[in-house]
Chains A and B, each alone.
Chain A
Amino acid sequence: MAAGNRGRRGIVTHLLQVVILGLLLGGVYALMASGLTLMFGVMRIVNLAHGVFIIAACFVAFFLFQGPGWDPFVSIAVTMPLFFLIGVGVYTALFPRIEGSARFTEMTVLLTFALALIAEGLLSYFFTGTVRSTDPSYKTDAILLGDFFIPTAQLLSSITSLVLLIGLWAFLYFTRTGYAVRATMQNRTAAQIVGVNVRRVSTISFGIGMALAGASGSLISFLFPFFPARHWQWIAILLALIVLGGLGSLKGAVVGALLLAVAAGIVSDQFGPTWSPMTFFGALFLILLIRPQGLFGHQARVG
């Protein structure tokens, strides 16, 4: 990051610059993490394949950019509905089979791990392991706001993430299906006995989680270079974010994402970028030691 300018700027300005860049990235992290935490909250599914679907969406955005020349932001109009449908398909094909299992969550870890391996293999087979990235014209642009340097691509991505997250919030709090989703998150049996079709709600929620992964993929396609095996790094970061926030808590996912993105930025600035990923795992260790339920989580519930 802007380490070279250090001498000319006050230390406070410099730190604020690091925080701003962290927050901008944090918005996109929040978008990725919210889909993952939604799946856990509604269905108690730990989706280890979330990262690989984000990478798959990167490929969709990449080829739409290479072929018809669609801007990655425009490709969200394709990746979101496409991955919603893939999510509905994946959920319907796989999860009802293990629904009654006493160790459902553990089973989902194995199932989605296998899914991630298969999807990664397919992506590598068809598209090779080459490092790619979409190159929209604004990719290296920046806005200078007083003393602050704001990369256009990250700003736009962050705003897009914010809009999508507000959309998710509005859906959850102001629509009938949204109420059903929240009810199922809070008490599955209670939702059933007031007449919520929890299978349908689960399918829709999984689809929404995947749609958010799809949208994130469009954004990640130009923010970070990607290749099929890159998803392991993403899922590790995302799991750290949602455990910090509290598994199943959307508010927690957003706060966790912003906090850790800023923390990673500061670590990168102070100790060098190699140490940045360690921030996430350091925070994961700490939170598990001090407050295992996360910032906004509840004590572990059975089922």
Chain B
Amino acid sequence: MATLQLQDVRSGYGYGPDILNGVSLEVETGKAYCIIGPNGAGKSTLLKTVAGLLKPRTGQVLFDETPIGGMRPDLVLAAGVCYVPQDRSLFPEMSVRENLVMGAFLETDKTVVAERMDRVFEMFPVLEDRLNQRAGTMSGGEQQMLALGRALMIEPRLLMIDEPSLGLAPQIADQIFDIIRRLAELDMTLLLVEQNVIRGLECTDWAFLLDLGELRIEAPSNEILDDPRIRELYLGRQKETTWQRGTGVGEES
């Protein structure tokens, strides 16, 4: 059964050109999806459009058959779609606990919030240790864990994660991918955007390949991983940039 459907969606920023040029796709309940593609392909734009941060210019976004395209972000979240942006978007002056509490802003039952927080601590023990630390002072990896933990506080039915490994040292990124794999195994519907294509495909069931705002290919993730033509066309280039990034300076740990 389809959870999320995009029908011929065009979207972009302000008065700028279309970044998504009529994308149609379907996401099924309980599966994990990875959106791959070169820079500027429209991957983040797609997530922002679903999250309600951008209004689709044409086309429709359906969640459980209900149109959510152009709805306010808080209403999209209330419908069950949660978005973890590239920059993590934490509340830097608030403590870890306050950030998690804010994650459950729409949940008014305090006992439910406490239960969920315990579940988040099971998955991210480091957050329990840092409960009173200000989010802005944590390392990149810890901030990403807090961003994921905060998203789980609302128990979304669809979790969209934008570039979770961005700016993280390889071993820290590995930890994040382990967590994403565990979420996928828990049958949470996941929509992941990842520059580190190989790792992204490894922890998902199905992949969408976007290029210049259009959906080029969709296939099971492992088929894309094994397809020599796609490897050469898209993954090869990605692999190279990943490697270059890996040796770059100024990485956070």
Contact = CB atoms under 8 A, between A and B. Distances in A.
A189 B53 contact: yes
Given A102-B14, A189-B85, A196 B105 contact: yes
Contact of A187 (B53, B78, B92): B92
Interface in B58-81: 72-74, 77-78
Contacts of B92: 186-187
Interface residues of A, number: 19
B89 A183 contact: no
B49 to A, nearest CB: 14
B80 to A, nearest CB: 11
Interface string A193-218: 11111010000000000000000000
A100 interface: yes
A192 interface: yes
Contact of A180 (B14, B72, B89, B105): B105
* Most chain B CB neighbours (cut-off 10 Å) among A102, A180, A193: A193
B14 A193 contact: no
B91 A193 contact: no
A182 interface: yes
A79 B52 CA distance: 38
User: Counting chain B CB atoms within 10 Å of each CB, which of A100, A102, A191, A195 scores highest?
Assistant: A195
A190 B89 contact: yes
A189 B48 CA distance: 11
Main secondary structure of the interface of A (DSSP, over half): helix
A183 B74 CA distance: 14
A26 B73 CA distance: 41
Contacts of B116: none
Contacts of A194: 77, 102-103, 105-106, 150, 154
Given A194-B102, A196-B74, A100 B14 contact: yes
B94 A183 contact: yes
B74 A195 contact: yes
Contacts of A189: 53, 85, 89
A190 B91 CA distance: 7
A179 interface: yes
B93 A186 contact: yes
B90 A193 contact: no
Contact of B106 (A179, A186, A195, A199): A195
Contact of A182 (B73, B85, B94): B94
Interface in B31-47: none
B176 to A, nearest CB: 18
B51 interface: yes
A189 B47 CA distance: 14
A67 to B, nearest CB: 44
A187 B90 contact: yes
Contact of A193 (B78, B89, B93, B98): B89
Given A183-B94, A186-B92, A193 B102 contact: no
Contact of B78 (A100, A182, A183, A195): A195
A26 to B, nearest CB: 25
Contacts of A102: 14
A101 to B, nearest CB: 9
B126 to A, nearest CB: 20
B83 interface: yes
Contacts of A180: 105
A187 B83 contact: no
A182 B105 CA distance: 13
Contacts of B101: 179
B50 to A, nearest CB: 12
B73 A193 contact: yes
B91 A186 contact: yes
B191 interface: no
A174 to B, nearest CB: 12
Contacts of B98: 179
15 contacts: A176-B108, A183-B94, A183-B102, A186-B91, A186-B92, A186-B93, A189-B53, A193-B53, A193-B84, A193-B85, A193-B89, A194-B105, A194-B154, A196-B74, A197-B72
Interface of B: 14, 51-53, 72-74, 77-78, 82-85, 89-94, 98, 101-103, 105-106, 108, 150, 154
Given A176-B108, A195-B77, A197-B72, 20 more contacts: A102-B14, A179-B98, A182-B91, A182-B93, A183-B105, A186-B91, A186-B93, A186-B94, A187-B89, A190-B89, A192-B52, A192-B73, A192-B74, A193-B84, A193-B85, A193-B89, A195-B106, A196-B74, A197-B74, A199-B72
